[in-house]
Amino acid sequence: MEGSGRVAERKDWPRVAIVTGASSGIGEAVARRLVAEGCAVVGNARGADRLDALERELGPAFAGVAGDAADGAVQEALFATARARFGREADLVVVNAGRGLGGAVSAADLSRFEEVVRTNLVGATALLQRAAQRMLAGLAERPYPVHAADIVVLGSVAGRNVSPFSAVYGSTKFAIHAVAEGLRREIGPKGIRVTLVEPGIVLTGFQAVAEYTDAQVEGFRRNFGPLLAGEDVARAVSFVVSQPPHVHLAEIVVRPTRQDYP
């Protein structure tokens, strides 16, 4: 489902962004922060109702596109909506939508693994490819180093260090980390920044979807708290993309101060 047909009046948006998984958690926090900083944002999530609410709250700087972020037609709608609503191609894409899966290799529910791989790896890679193609074409309109172009991938510390309680989920993050680094080496020399942001434990709806138990979450609080909130990661994303075009923070890890591992 594509965003509403209205065209935003403002034409001097400093950035036009696409954010997947924008209805809650890190994605919502990133979308809100970018809008607060004057950017135009196309936000994606599965649920139209929440996106409609954000459109009403955030005003003409936000357009929602509902659907599965791993679906090619939805991905195309994101870029089409950016141009239709805000007058030009997106120059900032935040690949955030993902699915969790709790449990060690010996105990994880592998019946859910295929969907996790589809969302976290296959769909994310397709979006990275589409973003790279669009941004490379857009360099003629907004050339480097006059203008910045950013692709930000939300990875995980579980994709940096093997964790016994989330190794199956972590495998998808290890893989998308590799894809992001490959893309950085490919398009970085052409003036497009690809940044990997790896959060530690962020207290969002992710834990419930991944079926972490209340006891596990309480253990995170006890051992590592205060835990991160989505806004903490959003600040890191904002810092990365606000650098001058010739400055690239390629990788950033954001943990709660007391989280020693992973």
> CA angle at residue 71 from 107 to 237, to 5 degrees?
75
CB 38 within 8 A of CB 117: no
Residue 211: per-residue pLDDT = 74
Cα 147 from Cα 139, distance rounded (Å):
9
Q: Which two tokens stand for residue 251?
A: 């990788």
Number of domains composing the chain: 1
Instruction: Determine which one of 144, 169, 212, 261 is catalytic.
Output: 169
CB 24 within 8 A of CB 43: no
Residue 7: per-residue pLDDT = 62
Query: Does a structural domain hold residue 7?
Result: no
Look up the pTM and report it.
Answer: 0.95
CATH number of the domain residue 185 falls in: 3.40.50.720
Decide: residue 218, CB within 10 A, 0-12 exposed, 13-18 middle, 19+ buried.
exposed
Query: Does a structural domain hold residue 239?
Result: yes
Cα 88 from Cα 7, distance rounded (Å):
12
**153 residue type, one letter:** V
Query: Does a structural domain hold residue 9?
Result: no
Give the tens place of pLDDT for each residue, 139-161. 999 999 999 999 999 999 999 99
Query: Does a structural domain hold residue 10?
Result: no
What's the rounded mean pLDDT across residues 33-47? 98
What's the rounded mean pLDDT across residues 169-187? 98
Query: Does a structural domain hold residue 4?
Result: no
Query: Does a structural domain hold residue 70?
Result: yes
Query: Does a structural domain hold residue 133?
Result: yes
Q: Which domain holds residue 206?
A: 16-254
The verdict on whether 144 is a catalytic residue reads no
